[in-house]
Structures are given as structure tokens and as C-alpha cells.
Structure 1
């Protein structure tokens, strides 16, 4: 199955994060639950169809994040980047035995042109199980050391084999270093959207 990526992703710029923005990653325990070093720049992430914007832990409804968001940045035109979206709270933050649940994984992004990227894991929006509280949905951008031949199995948007992903292990495997930009939102169960962790596993 050929992977693809919508041009609607190419809309947003990464801005320098203020100190309080960086602190949000530690206060929310994304550092160290997902990464040990918080990103130094803030990604602006927008769900255009529902007019919702991600901002450092704000709460969004699963029904508003079904379609892939716009995520763009001012990248080095001669470099390649990787974008990760992950949920470390699977099936719940109190009992994250399936952490991390990988929602989206895009590699070999040339500069900031996401339309020419390699989709490793197709986007799936938030779908927390009932009675599991708020989940954190984390976007992280990495600058690659060069173009990479990824060994990951391509996962379609109906493939539920996404549990126990490790952003840090993935970054180490391909020499990505620390994330250069990031953002995150939170979401809880919405009875209008199926619980993905149970639906796709």
C-alpha cells in the first residue's frame, strides 16, 4: 500500500519557545515520560477543519481532531526531518502499560515540505477509552542527520498495532538526537468517537 500525505499539513511555522513554554513539557511530565530533553521550539499545530489549535496541553475533543492537522516549520532546506505524534497514556495515565501509542510517524521530510515526506504510520486522531481520564497527545519534530532508510513497517490508518512505541528508542535507533520543536494537547473519552486503543488492537 502506497503511503501519502495531504498537502493540508503544510501550513504552520515553528516559533522559538519561551521559557514557560519549555517548562510546560516538564510540568506535564512529557519530559521525562516521552523524552528526557524538552524541545526548545514550539510547533504551531492547527486542526483546520474544526478551527482548533494545539497549545501546550489545552483540552481538545476527539471529534475535533479526527483529521490530520496542519504542522509546518521553517526547516533547513538542505536537511530532512521526522515528525512524531504519540500518546504516553495508553490505556490510561495511571496505568500506562501500553505506552506509547503511536498516532502518526512521518520521516524524511525534505526541509519543511511535508507533502514530499515518507509516511511510516498514517495519522489516527485521539480516541481515549472510557473512564481513563485525560490523555496527552504529543507532537515532536526531529532534525535527521541525513536521509534515512527506515526499517519500520508501514502502518495504515486501520492498523492498530501501535502500542509500546518508544519515541526515545526510535530517535536513538536512527540517530535523531533531541527534539527540536514540539507541542501537545489533552483529550478524554468522547462517546461520539470509538475508543481507538480497544478498537484497533
Structure 2
């Protein structure tokens, strides 16, 4: 009898980026018409612009959304783990990132070599954040440290996708 194994465990998102948690909020992520499921493949050209993100929850609740690459610059030697691609704070429940404050502008996937994981992590805030100082560099960001610094606790939702460099002739 086979048991259920969480794709976040299989993809090493739990461990490399976040600790084990129980999802409590529904989060839907799309790049154009492509729905993001854990471990799916998204071409960098499809993800050049920010994804459409819809979260459940009450409008009175506020959320922080973080997108990182734990495989930078290379999955076999992630010396820049995690590379910060996007951060939105004070996002009301039942809405999307456009209703929050973009603390770090979106940067699409640009994997130089290998297959990279891009992880979107959603935290429920205990109160409105007065602002989050953008890091001096996007390299070596730490999702757990952000959560600890702003008392965000464990994530309430997480999804990740894989992406790899496209051959020049195939880019759209």
C-alpha cells in the first residue's frame, strides 16, 4: 500500500526553503493560462512577467508573498541560495499581489545552468507590516530569517515550479 508523499518534501522545498507546515490557505498561481502545480515545468519566457496569484482568506487578514530560487546559481552548487525574485507584503486575503505593497520588484526566472526550483511562499501576518527593508542584494536571502524577523510563523501555503534555460532558438 503506497502512502501519500508531499510534493514539497519530494522536491526538497521543505528543508531547503521552509520547515514542515500544514497548508491552511488556498493559493492559485498562473503564468498566463498555465496553472502552477508543485514540480511543474515553466519556461523562463512564460514567467517573464509576474504570475497571477489568487489567495483565499478574509480581506481583514494580511499576507506576505515571497518567491525565491534555492538553486542559484547552480543546483549542484547553490552558493547564492536563496535568490530573492519577488516580495509582496500587506496583501489582503481574498485578493492578489496588486492589492499589497511590492517590497522587492518581480524578477523572472533566469536559470544559468541546470533545472532550478522557484518557490512561492505565503505567510499570514499577525498585523500590518510598516515596511520591509529590501535586502542589499537578492543573493543569499533566507525565507526562514524573514519569517523570524517579522514574526510571520510558518507558511500557510507554498507552491513551486521548475525552470531551466531555454535554447536561444526556442525562446518566444
Give me the TM-score of the superposition, normalised by structure 1: 0.76
- Which consecutive aligned stretches of 4+ in structure 1 deviate over 3 angstroms post-superposition? none
Q: Does 1:163 align with 2:139?
A: yes
1:66-85 superposed matches below 5 A: 66-85=48-67
**Structure 1 contact 26–38 (Cα < 8 Å) conserved:** no
Which of 141, 161, 167 does residue 122 from structure 2 map onto? 141
Shift of 1:107: 0.2
**CA-to-partner distance for each residue in 1:150-190, whole Å, 9 max, x for gaps?**
241389xxxxx310000000011000001101111000112
Secondary structure of 1:64's partner? coil
Which of 131, 156, 162 does residue 180 from structure 1 map onto? 156
**Structure 2 contact 69–83 (Cα < 8 Å) conserved:** yes
More strand by share: 2
Shift of 1:136: 0.3
- Number of residue pairs aligned between Structure 1 and Structure 2: 165
Q: Does 1:47 align with 2:47?
A: no
Task: Measure, in 1, the Cα distance between the counterparts of 2:139 and 2:153.
Answer: 22
Shift of 1:44: 1.9
Shift of 1:59: 1.1
More helix by share: 1
**Structure 1 contact 83–139 (Cα < 8 Å) conserved:** yes
**Structure 2 contact 67–84 (Cα < 8 Å) conserved:** yes
> For structure 2, which runs of at least 5 residues remain unmatched after alignment?
none
**CA-to-partner distance for each residue in 1:36-93, whole Å, 9 max, x for gaps?**
1245255321112xx2221111111111111111111112221110001110000011
Secondary structure of 2:123's partner? strand
